Amino acid sequence: MTLPTEQRITLSHHLTLTAQSWGASDAPPLLTLHGWLDNAGSYAFLAPLLAERWRVIALELPGHGHSSHLPAGINYHYVDYVSAVLAAADALQLERYTLLGHSLGAGIASWWRRRNRKASSSCI
């Protein structure tokens, strides 16, 4: 199994996301979004296979995996996950990319597609 590289994506003074990446940096980007009780590790077996064609970026949503948690007293709302993914794609300077989502990630990818013309999406 190919090991990913890990990167930190600072979105604000209180929110930093983590992503695991596989594949060539010049390959078309595939931003993957995990499910409700998951993290980027959900793609550990699939990503090396996809990396033959894509630059796979498995993003960890706020409060999941190694991404930071929101400050005490702030709730996690579905719409805020969509905003965090949009901000992460901007921070990664992704001009065009494809989204692949599972469970919660599929819902985010579906909603995102309606809001963002730079992305194409696949939901499983």
Is 103 catalytic? The answer is yes
**How far apart are alpha carbons 116 and 114 in whole angstroms?**
6
Which of the residues 103, 110, 120, 122 is marked catalytic? 103
Give the CA angle between residues 103, 23, 3 to the nearest 5°. 80
**Which residues partner with 32 through β-bridges?**
58, 100
- Token pair, residue 119, equals 């992305």
Catalytically active residues are 103
